[in-house]
Homo-oligomer: A and B are copies of this chain.
Amino acid sequence: MNFDSFIQENGKQVIFKKHEHVFMQGESNDNFYFLRSGLLKAYYVLEDGRESVKSFILSGNTITSLTAAYTKEQCSFSLVALQESQLIEIPFDCIEEATRRSHDMARKVIEILLSLSMKKERREYELLSLPAEERYRQLCETSPQLIEAVTQNDIARYLGITPVALSRIKKRLLNMN
């Protein structure tokens, strides 16, 4: 069976308005989510109250807190809607169980996890090896629609810098061209 149709059939549609949380860091949440429309932000809150953005989730993509859904610990991050969002919620165990029953489903999940790993590897590389200015330039090139949709505040936290620093970087880039 197709993974997408499996999700559609076994999942439950849920809607979150702008600024509503899907889950909060520290809570438990066993679900896997597929975003049909809208825009989500996954973010960490540090001990000192500072915030950093793990990722933005665009429609058509999926998100789950592995620590909460797979190992049953607390969510390591919070998930909030930046726009009204329509998502499909499905218990992680339900997928887990499907991979036990269906060989096809297991193979499909492997594919998904492989792309997920490659995406994470790319992000890890950028954070490790590229300076903030370069990370910003690449983000502008690869995801111009994101720059439009999201506040500069959140872009900065996603790049691992402060909004003030991002404002300076933008100015520097302008003065170059």
Contacts and interface: CB of A to CB of B under 8 A. Distances in A.
Nearest to A129: B52
Contacts of A99: 106-107, 110
Identical copies in the complex:
2
Contacts of A113: 110, 113-114, 117
Interface residues of A, number: 30
Given A66-B117, A66-B121, A76-B125, 18 more contacts: A44-B125, A44-B128, A44-B129, A46-B129, A54-B124, A54-B128, A66-B118, A67-B121, A70-B118, A99-B107, A103-B103, A103-B106, A106-B110, A110-B113, A113-B114, A116-B117, A123-B124, A129-B160
Interface of A: 44, 46, 52, 54, 66-67, 70-71, 76, 99-100, 103, 106-107, 109-110, 113-114, 116-118, 120-121, 123-125, 127-129, 160
